[in-house]
Amino acid sequence: MPLACPPLPPKALAWLHQQGIRTREDLLRRGVVPTFLQFKAAGQPASARLLFALEAAARGVHWNQLSDEDRLRLKRALAAHPPVRMPPGVEPGERFMRHALALAARAAAEGEVPVGAVVVCAGDIVGEGYNQPIGRADPSAHAELQAIRQAAAKLGNYRLAGCDLYVTLEPCPMCSGAILHARMDRVIYAAADAKTGAAGSVVDLFAERRLNAHTACFGGVLAEEAGAMLSEFFRARRASAPT
């Protein structure tokens, strides 16, 4: 069923359409509270009345039909929800991911699994790295940790609030833990990792509400290019392996 005005105000309805939320089913799939927080993160005016209007739209009723219990439940859910942030714009997202892909190519040239990462703060790259566990004889020398270490040293702080991390492969649990511990704002990855991905493919540490830090996570930026690089690397490795 299409969303309508009322119960939603016209500007909110237009924004929802821009985000691909056009029906009650779309809104229910995204979730009322996450959608409200995303609306707020986008700099749109977001009052409690809009939260109630979104819930009413998801139910197909007017917002004044919500009970006091309904409103209290929504306010509690809002207070308990992790912060929500908007994804990066297409141009900066692809620009920083291409830098990470160039680093991944360096890893491949050194015989390492091709993964590259950059840390971005206020639009500038403040840390970068690529996989080097073999070359450094260090199981923790993943691209993300290399970039995080460099960024922390440059900024003089182990907390990297306000920073984003771009990486060509979905972070593993080890790297996800470091990202969360650094209090990073966002992690943007290219290809999903069905074997060790900790951003939803195997587990989702970024959605674990019991952890005391939350980082917004977005996947799929230049995923085909990153996936092709990984596939070619492992194809070549198999071809050169002794039979």
Residues marked active site are found at 144
What's the CA gap between 139 and 169, in Å, rounded? 17
CB 191 within 8 A of CB 222: no
Buried b (16+ CB within 10 A) or exposed e, 40-50: beeeeebeeeb
Start-to-end CA distance of the chain, whole Å, equals 59
Could you give the 3-state DSSP secondary structure of residue 164?
strand
CB 195 within 8 A of CB 225: no
Got the DSSP string for 193-242?
A: -TTT-TBTTS-BGGG-TTSS---EEEE-TTHHHHHHHHHHHHHHHHHHS-
Phi, psi torsion values for 124, nearest 5 degrees: -120, 145
Phi, psi torsion values for 113, nearest 5 degrees: -55, 125
CB 10 within 8 A of CB 29: no
**Cβ-based neighbours of 181, under 8 Å, separated by 6 or more:** 213
Tokens of 127: 């840390």
